[in-house]
Amino acid sequence: MKFLLIKALEDRHVYSQFIAALGEALTALGHDAIVTDQSVHAVGKIVQVKPLVDALIAAKPDVAVSFSSFFSDIAMSDGRPLFDALGVDFVGWQLDHPIYVEHVLTKPLARRRSVYSNLNHLRFARAVKIDGPGAVMLPGGRPPLGPIPDYRARRHQVFVAATWNGEPARPWEALADSPAKRLYAGVVARLANHPEASVLDAFNDSARMLGLAATLGQDPDFDRQMMMFLQGPLTYLRHADRLAIVRSLAESGLPVTILGAGWRDGLGDRPNVTFLEHRVDFGEMAALYGDAKVAINLNAGNGACERAIDAMMAGAAVASDYSGALAAAFAPGDEIAFYSRARPASVADTAAELLEGGGEAMAERGHLKAIGSARWRDRAQSLVDFLAR
Protein backbone atom coordinates (compact mmCIF):
# COMPACT_ATOMS: atom_id res chain seq x y z
CA MET A 1 0.00 0.00 0.00
CA LYS A 2 1.27 3.48 -0.82
CA PHE A 3 0.86 6.24 1.77
CA LEU A 4 1.34 9.99 1.52
CA LEU A 5 1.83 11.34 5.05
CA ILE A 6 1.04 15.04 5.30
CA LYS A 7 3.31 17.03 7.62
CA ALA A 8 1.46 20.24 8.38
CA LEU A 9 3.46 21.76 11.25
CA GLU A 10 7.04 22.51 12.25
CA ASP A 11 9.42 19.62 12.87
CA ARG A 12 9.34 19.79 16.67
CA HIS A 13 5.53 19.74 16.91
CA VAL A 14 4.16 16.49 18.28
CA TYR A 15 2.01 15.89 15.17
CA SER A 16 5.08 16.14 12.95
CA GLN A 17 6.98 13.79 15.24
CA PHE A 18 4.10 11.32 14.89
CA ILE A 19 4.10 11.65 11.10
CA ALA A 20 7.80 10.77 11.00
CA ALA A 21 7.36 7.82 13.37
CA LEU A 22 4.35 6.50 11.46
CA GLY A 23 6.25 6.77 8.18
CA GLU A 24 9.18 4.79 9.58
CA ALA A 25 6.80 2.13 10.91
CA LEU A 26 4.89 1.76 7.65
CA THR A 27 8.15 1.45 5.74
CA ALA A 28 9.36 -1.23 8.17
CA LEU A 29 6.16 -3.16 7.43
CA GLY A 30 6.92 -3.09 3.70
CA HIS A 31 4.65 -0.25 2.63
CA ASP A 32 5.62 2.77 0.57
CA ALA A 33 5.38 5.80 2.87
CA ILE A 34 6.24 9.28 1.63
CA VAL A 35 6.21 12.32 3.90
CA THR A 36 5.22 15.57 2.20
CA ASP A 37 6.14 18.72 4.10
CA GLN A 38 3.24 21.13 3.65
CA SER A 39 4.10 23.20 6.71
CA VAL A 40 6.04 25.68 4.61
CA HIS A 41 2.97 26.23 2.43
CA ALA A 42 0.54 27.03 5.25
CA VAL A 43 0.76 30.30 7.14
CA GLY A 44 -1.97 30.83 9.70
CA LYS A 45 -5.21 29.90 8.01
CA ILE A 46 -3.92 30.71 4.52
CA VAL A 47 -3.15 27.49 2.68
CA GLN A 48 -1.49 27.13 -0.70
CA VAL A 49 -3.31 24.32 -2.45
CA LYS A 50 -1.05 23.73 -5.46
CA PRO A 51 1.94 22.22 -3.58
CA LEU A 52 -0.31 19.55 -2.02
CA VAL A 53 -1.99 18.85 -5.37
CA ASP A 54 1.45 18.49 -6.95
CA ALA A 55 2.56 16.10 -4.19
CA LEU A 56 -0.58 13.97 -4.59
CA ILE A 57 -0.21 13.79 -8.37
CA ALA A 58 3.50 12.97 -8.17
CA ALA A 59 3.17 10.31 -5.48
CA LYS A 60 -0.08 8.71 -6.70
CA PRO A 61 -0.80 7.32 -3.21
CA ASP A 62 -3.58 4.97 -2.24
CA VAL A 63 -4.05 6.79 1.05
CA ALA A 64 -3.21 10.21 2.49
CA VAL A 65 -2.86 10.53 6.28
CA SER A 66 -3.12 13.80 8.16
CA PHE A 67 -3.05 14.27 11.92
CA SER A 68 -5.92 16.52 13.00
CA SER A 69 -7.32 16.27 9.44
CA PHE A 70 -5.24 19.21 8.22
CA PHE A 71 -6.09 19.99 4.56
CA SER A 72 -9.18 17.76 4.58
CA ASP A 73 -11.43 20.66 3.59
CA ILE A 74 -9.48 21.69 0.48
CA ALA A 75 -11.63 21.72 -2.65
CA MET A 76 -10.91 21.85 -6.37
CA SER A 77 -12.00 24.82 -8.45
CA ASP A 78 -15.20 22.99 -9.36
CA GLY A 79 -16.07 22.49 -5.68
CA ARG A 80 -15.20 18.81 -5.41
CA PRO A 81 -13.17 17.78 -2.35
CA LEU A 82 -9.52 17.47 -3.37
CA PHE A 83 -8.93 13.90 -2.23
CA ASP A 84 -12.16 12.60 -3.77
CA ALA A 85 -11.36 14.33 -7.06
CA LEU A 86 -7.91 12.69 -7.19
CA GLY A 87 -9.20 9.28 -6.11
CA VAL A 88 -7.18 9.18 -2.87
CA ASP A 89 -8.51 7.80 0.41
CA PHE A 90 -8.09 10.28 3.26
CA VAL A 91 -7.39 9.32 6.87
CA GLY A 92 -7.82 12.06 9.45
CA TRP A 93 -6.12 10.95 12.67
CA GLN A 94 -7.74 13.02 15.42
CA LEU A 95 -5.65 13.40 18.56
CA ASP A 96 -8.14 15.79 20.11
CA HIS A 97 -11.88 16.15 20.36
CA PRO A 98 -13.71 16.85 17.06
CA ILE A 99 -15.11 20.10 18.46
CA TYR A 100 -11.62 21.57 18.03
CA VAL A 101 -11.47 20.49 14.37
CA GLU A 102 -14.39 22.43 12.89
CA HIS A 103 -13.18 22.10 9.30
CA VAL A 104 -14.02 18.39 9.24
CA LEU A 105 -17.64 19.40 8.60
CA THR A 106 -16.85 21.86 5.83
CA LYS A 107 -16.55 19.56 2.82
CA PRO A 108 -17.98 16.04 3.08
CA LEU A 109 -15.39 13.53 1.90
CA ALA A 110 -16.71 10.36 0.29
CA ARG A 111 -13.32 8.71 0.79
CA ARG A 112 -12.81 9.79 4.41
CA ARG A 113 -11.81 7.51 7.26
CA SER A 114 -11.13 8.78 10.76
CA VAL A 115 -9.05 7.59 13.70
CA TYR A 116 -9.92 8.83 17.19
CA SER A 117 -8.07 8.50 20.48
CA ASN A 118 -11.23 8.06 22.53
CA LEU A 119 -14.52 6.22 21.99
CA ASN A 120 -16.44 9.30 23.12
CA HIS A 121 -14.81 11.29 20.34
CA LEU A 122 -15.98 8.70 17.82
CA ARG A 123 -19.49 8.77 19.32
CA PHE A 124 -19.59 12.56 18.96
CA ALA A 125 -18.36 12.37 15.37
CA ARG A 126 -21.12 9.92 14.53
CA ALA A 127 -23.70 12.11 16.24
CA VAL A 128 -22.81 15.09 14.04
CA LYS A 129 -22.61 12.79 11.02
CA ILE A 130 -18.94 13.15 10.12
CA ASP A 131 -18.75 10.93 7.05
CA GLY A 132 -16.74 7.74 6.76
CA PRO A 133 -15.77 4.77 8.93
CA GLY A 134 -14.07 5.46 12.22
CA ALA A 135 -11.76 3.57 14.56
CA VAL A 136 -10.36 4.18 18.05
CA MET A 137 -6.57 4.00 18.35
CA LEU A 138 -4.10 5.61 20.68
CA PRO A 139 -0.88 6.88 19.10
CA GLY A 140 2.21 4.71 19.35
CA GLY A 141 5.51 5.14 21.11
CA ARG A 142 9.14 4.60 20.31
CA PRO A 143 10.94 2.02 22.47
CA PRO A 144 14.17 3.27 24.09
CA LEU A 145 17.32 2.66 22.07
CA GLY A 146 19.15 1.15 25.03
CA PRO A 147 18.41 -0.40 28.43
CA ILE A 148 15.92 1.54 30.53
CA PRO A 149 17.39 3.21 33.63
CA ASP A 150 17.21 1.36 36.92
CA TYR A 151 13.91 2.13 38.63
CA ARG A 152 15.33 2.56 42.11
CA ALA A 153 17.98 5.04 40.96
CA ARG A 154 15.50 7.46 39.36
CA ARG A 155 15.57 10.99 40.70
CA HIS A 156 11.99 12.13 40.05
CA GLN A 157 9.71 10.36 42.51
CA VAL A 158 6.49 11.77 41.02
CA PHE A 159 6.77 13.52 37.67
CA VAL A 160 4.10 15.54 35.88
CA ALA A 161 4.43 17.51 32.64
CA ALA A 162 1.75 20.12 32.07
CA THR A 163 1.34 23.52 30.48
CA TRP A 164 0.48 26.27 32.94
CA ASN A 165 -2.77 27.91 31.84
CA GLY A 166 -3.48 29.95 34.94
CA GLU A 167 -6.71 30.10 36.89
CA PRO A 168 -9.51 29.29 34.43
CA ALA A 169 -12.11 32.03 33.96
CA ARG A 170 -15.81 31.25 34.39
CA PRO A 171 -17.25 33.65 31.78
CA TRP A 172 -20.77 32.21 31.81
CA GLU A 173 -21.31 33.30 35.41
CA ALA A 174 -21.23 36.97 34.39
CA LEU A 175 -23.97 36.53 31.77
CA ALA A 176 -27.63 37.34 32.28
CA ASP A 177 -29.80 34.30 32.79
CA SER A 178 -30.67 32.64 29.49
CA PRO A 179 -31.05 29.15 27.99
CA ALA A 180 -27.49 29.42 26.60
CA LYS A 181 -26.06 30.28 30.04
CA ARG A 182 -27.93 27.41 31.69
CA LEU A 183 -26.80 25.02 28.96
CA TYR A 184 -23.17 26.13 29.37
CA ALA A 185 -23.31 25.69 33.15
CA GLY A 186 -25.05 22.32 32.79
CA VAL A 187 -22.42 21.02 30.39
CA VAL A 188 -19.62 22.17 32.71
CA ALA A 189 -21.21 20.42 35.71
CA ARG A 190 -21.71 17.16 33.84
CA LEU A 191 -18.25 17.19 32.32
CA ALA A 192 -16.79 17.64 35.80
CA ASN A 193 -18.37 14.42 37.02
CA HIS A 194 -18.10 12.24 33.92
CA PRO A 195 -15.17 9.75 34.16
CA GLU A 196 -14.02 10.58 30.63
CA ALA A 197 -15.56 14.05 30.23
CA SER A 198 -17.86 12.99 27.38
CA VAL A 199 -18.99 16.14 25.60
CA LEU A 200 -21.79 14.28 23.80
CA ASP A 201 -23.25 12.90 27.04
CA ALA A 202 -22.86 16.24 28.83
CA PHE A 203 -24.63 18.11 26.01
CA ASN A 204 -27.45 15.58 25.63
CA ASP A 205 -28.08 15.31 29.38
CA SER A 206 -28.01 19.08 29.90
CA ALA A 207 -30.32 19.81 26.96
CA ARG A 208 -32.78 17.17 28.14
CA MET A 209 -32.77 18.39 31.76
CA LEU A 210 -33.38 21.98 30.56
CA GLY A 211 -36.15 20.91 28.20
CA LEU A 212 -34.30 22.27 25.17
CA ALA A 213 -35.12 20.88 21.74
CA ALA A 214 -31.43 20.77 20.83
CA THR A 215 -30.34 17.71 18.90
CA LEU A 216 -27.05 17.12 17.13
CA GLY A 217 -26.99 15.60 13.67
CA GLN A 218 -30.13 17.21 12.25
CA ASP A 219 -28.72 20.47 10.86
CA PRO A 220 -25.06 20.94 9.78
CA ASP A 221 -25.18 24.67 10.57
CA PHE A 222 -26.47 23.97 14.08
CA ASP A 223 -23.82 21.29 14.57
CA ARG A 224 -21.12 23.74 13.54
CA GLN A 225 -22.41 26.33 16.00
CA MET A 226 -22.61 23.76 18.79
CA MET A 227 -19.07 22.55 18.13
CA MET A 228 -17.82 26.11 18.61
CA PHE A 229 -20.07 26.58 21.67
CA LEU A 230 -18.89 23.36 23.34
CA GLN A 231 -15.23 24.30 23.06
CA GLY A 232 -15.75 26.70 25.97
CA PRO A 233 -16.97 24.21 28.60
CA LEU A 234 -14.46 21.51 27.61
CA THR A 235 -11.51 23.91 27.54
CA TYR A 236 -12.53 25.30 30.92
CA LEU A 237 -12.74 21.78 32.41
CA ARG A 238 -9.35 20.83 30.99
CA HIS A 239 -7.72 23.85 32.58
CA ALA A 240 -9.61 23.40 35.85
CA ASP A 241 -8.73 19.69 36.00
CA ARG A 242 -5.07 20.35 35.32
CA LEU A 243 -4.80 23.00 38.00
CA ALA A 244 -6.68 20.94 40.60
CA ILE A 245 -4.65 17.80 39.97
CA VAL A 246 -1.23 19.48 39.97
CA ARG A 247 -2.18 21.55 43.01
CA SER A 248 -3.27 18.38 44.82
CA LEU A 249 0.12 16.83 44.12
CA ALA A 250 1.97 19.93 45.30
CA GLU A 251 -0.07 20.14 48.51
CA SER A 252 0.27 16.42 49.28
CA GLY A 253 3.82 16.66 50.60
CA LEU A 254 4.98 14.03 48.13
CA PRO A 255 8.29 14.69 46.33
CA VAL A 256 6.97 16.06 43.03
CA THR A 257 8.71 17.35 39.91
CA ILE A 258 6.60 19.64 37.72
CA LEU A 259 7.69 20.36 34.16
CA GLY A 260 6.26 23.54 32.68
CA ALA A 261 6.92 27.26 32.89
CA GLY A 262 4.61 29.25 35.16
CA TRP A 263 3.87 26.68 37.86
CA ARG A 264 6.35 28.16 40.36
CA ASP A 265 4.60 31.53 40.18
CA GLY A 266 1.19 29.89 40.28
CA LEU A 267 1.80 27.52 43.19
CA GLY A 268 4.61 29.24 45.04
CA ASP A 269 7.86 27.67 46.20
CA ARG A 270 7.32 24.48 48.18
CA PRO A 271 10.00 22.30 49.82
CA ASN A 272 8.59 19.11 48.27
CA VAL A 273 8.29 20.46 44.71
CA THR A 274 11.00 20.73 42.06
CA PHE A 275 10.10 23.05 39.18
CA LEU A 276 11.56 22.45 35.71
CA GLU A 277 10.75 25.61 33.81
CA HIS A 278 12.86 25.29 30.68
CA ARG A 279 11.29 24.43 27.34
CA VAL A 280 11.45 20.73 26.51
CA ASP A 281 10.66 19.49 23.02
CA PHE A 282 8.60 16.36 22.62
CA GLY A 283 11.61 14.34 21.52
CA GLU A 284 13.36 15.05 24.83
CA MET A 285 10.56 13.75 27.03
CA ALA A 286 11.74 10.14 26.97
CA ALA A 287 14.85 11.03 28.98
CA LEU A 288 12.76 12.75 31.65
CA TYR A 289 10.34 9.83 31.91
CA GLY A 290 13.36 7.53 32.13
CA ASP A 291 14.33 9.37 35.31
CA ALA A 292 10.84 9.16 36.87
CA LYS A 293 9.39 6.50 39.14
CA VAL A 294 5.75 7.60 38.85
CA ALA A 295 4.54 9.60 35.85
CA ILE A 296 1.17 11.38 35.94
CA ASN A 297 -0.95 11.35 32.79
CA LEU A 298 -3.49 14.20 32.57
CA ASN A 299 -6.69 14.55 30.52
CA ALA A 300 -6.80 10.90 29.49
CA GLY A 301 -10.48 11.17 28.64
CA ASN A 302 -9.85 13.96 26.17
CA GLY A 303 -6.35 13.69 24.77
CA ALA A 304 -4.34 11.07 22.97
CA CYS A 305 -2.48 9.77 26.07
CA GLU A 306 0.87 9.79 24.28
CA ARG A 307 2.54 10.80 27.55
CA ALA A 308 1.25 7.67 29.26
CA ILE A 309 2.64 5.49 26.47
CA ASP A 310 5.97 7.31 26.34
CA ALA A 311 6.34 7.05 30.13
CA MET A 312 5.68 3.31 30.01
CA MET A 313 8.19 2.90 27.20
CA ALA A 314 10.74 4.64 29.44
CA GLY A 315 9.95 2.35 32.40
CA ALA A 316 7.93 4.66 34.66
CA ALA A 317 4.81 3.57 36.54
CA VAL A 318 1.87 5.53 35.07
CA ALA A 319 -0.97 7.02 37.10
CA SER A 320 -3.68 8.43 34.85
CA ASP A 321 -7.20 9.77 34.97
CA TYR A 322 -9.54 7.22 33.44
CA SER A 323 -9.43 6.41 29.73
CA GLY A 324 -11.31 3.53 28.20
CA ALA A 325 -8.68 3.26 25.49
CA LEU A 326 -5.87 3.05 28.07
CA ALA A 327 -7.83 0.57 30.17
CA ALA A 328 -8.33 -1.62 27.10
CA ALA A 329 -4.63 -1.49 26.24
CA PHE A 330 -3.13 -1.83 29.74
CA ALA A 331 -4.54 -3.85 32.63
CA PRO A 332 -5.85 -1.47 35.33
CA GLY A 333 -4.15 -1.99 38.68
CA ASP A 334 -1.54 -4.21 37.09
CA GLU A 335 0.05 -2.28 34.20
CA ILE A 336 -1.46 1.14 34.85
CA ALA A 337 -3.07 2.92 37.82
CA PHE A 338 -6.11 5.18 37.52
CA TYR A 339 -7.17 8.08 39.73
CA SER A 340 -10.48 9.96 39.57
CA ARG A 341 -10.43 13.32 37.87
CA ALA A 342 -13.64 14.17 39.79
CA ARG A 343 -11.67 13.78 43.05
CA PRO A 344 -8.34 15.59 42.57
CA ALA A 345 -7.02 14.37 45.94
CA SER A 346 -7.10 10.83 44.58
CA VAL A 347 -4.10 11.53 42.33
CA ALA A 348 -1.85 12.03 45.36
CA ASP A 349 -3.28 8.93 47.04
CA THR A 350 -2.61 6.87 43.92
CA ALA A 351 0.94 8.20 43.52
CA ALA A 352 1.68 7.58 47.20
CA GLU A 353 0.52 3.97 46.94
CA LEU A 354 2.82 3.39 43.98
CA LEU A 355 5.79 4.93 45.79
CA GLU A 356 5.13 2.94 48.94
CA GLY A 357 5.07 -0.37 47.10
CA GLY A 358 4.05 -1.83 43.78
CA GLY A 359 5.28 0.98 41.58
CA GLU A 360 8.38 -0.84 40.40
CA ALA A 361 6.46 -4.00 39.47
CA MET A 362 3.75 -1.97 37.71
CA ALA A 363 6.40 -0.04 35.81
CA GLU A 364 8.00 -3.27 34.61
CA ARG A 365 4.70 -4.81 33.53
CA GLY A 366 3.57 -1.61 31.81
CA HIS A 367 6.89 -1.32 30.02
CA LEU A 368 6.73 -4.87 28.73
CA LYS A 369 3.17 -4.39 27.49
CA ALA A 370 4.03 -1.07 25.82
CA ILE A 371 7.06 -2.33 23.92
CA GLY A 372 5.11 -5.45 22.98
CA SER A 373 1.93 -3.85 21.66
CA ALA A 374 2.05 -0.03 21.69
CA ARG A 375 4.92 0.74 19.31
CA TRP A 376 4.30 2.85 16.23
CA ARG A 377 4.84 -0.33 14.27
CA ASP A 378 1.82 -1.84 16.06
CA ARG A 379 -0.24 1.26 15.28
CA ALA A 380 0.85 1.18 11.65
CA GLN A 381 -0.35 -2.41 11.34
CA SER A 382 -3.64 -1.48 13.00
CA LEU A 383 -4.03 1.36 10.51
CA VAL A 384 -3.42 -0.98 7.58
CA ASP A 385 -5.95 -3.45 9.00
CA PHE A 386 -8.50 -0.62 9.43
CA LEU A 387 -8.05 0.43 5.80
CA ALA A 388 -8.53 -3.15 4.63
CA ARG A 389 -11.98 -3.47 6.18
314-335 pLDDT, tens per residue? 999 999 999 999 999 999 999 9
Domain boundary among 241, 269, 301: 241
pLDDT value, residue 45: 62
Same domain, 228 and 280: no
At 359-369, the pLDDT tens digits run 999 999 999 99
More confident residue, 43 or 131: 131
Domain presence at residue 18 = yes
Which element (helix H / strand E) includes 208? helix 199-209
What local confidence, expressed as pLDDT, does residue 114 receive? Answer: 96
Using CB atoms within 10 A of its CB, is residue 87 exposed (0-12), middle (13-18) or buried (19+)?
A: exposed
Mean pLDDT, the chain, rounded, equals: 94
Pick the last residue of a domain from 189, 210, 241.
241
8 and 126 together in one domain: yes
Whether residues 127 and 176 fall in one domain: no
Same domain assignment for residues 156 and 175: no
* Structural domains in the chain (count): 3
Residue 15 is part of which domain span?
2-140+377-387
Residue 44 lies in a domain: yes
* Residues 233 and 276 both lie in one domain: no
Cα distance between residue 243 and residue 237, in whole Å:
10
Report the candidate in 231, 190, 289 with the shortest Cα–Cα distance to residue 96: 231
The domain boundary, picked from 223, 241, 259, lies at: 241
Distance CA 314, CA 294 (A): 11
Mean pLDDT score, 286-298: 96
Indicate if 46 and 126 belong to the same structural domain: yes
359 falls within a domain? yes
| Residues 249 and 337 occupy one common structural domain | yes
Q: Is 35 helix (H, G, I), strand (E, B) or coil?
A: strand
Q: Are 160 and 296 part of one and the same domain?
A: yes
Can you tell me the mean pLDDT for 372-388?
98
In the chain the first and final C-alpha atoms are separated, in Å, by 14
Query: Given CA atoms 54, 60, 61, 62 in this order, what sign does their dihedral have?
Result: positive
Q: Is residue 146 part of a domain?
A: no
Cβ atoms within 10 Å, residue 228 = 12
| CATH number where 329 lies | 3.40.50.2000
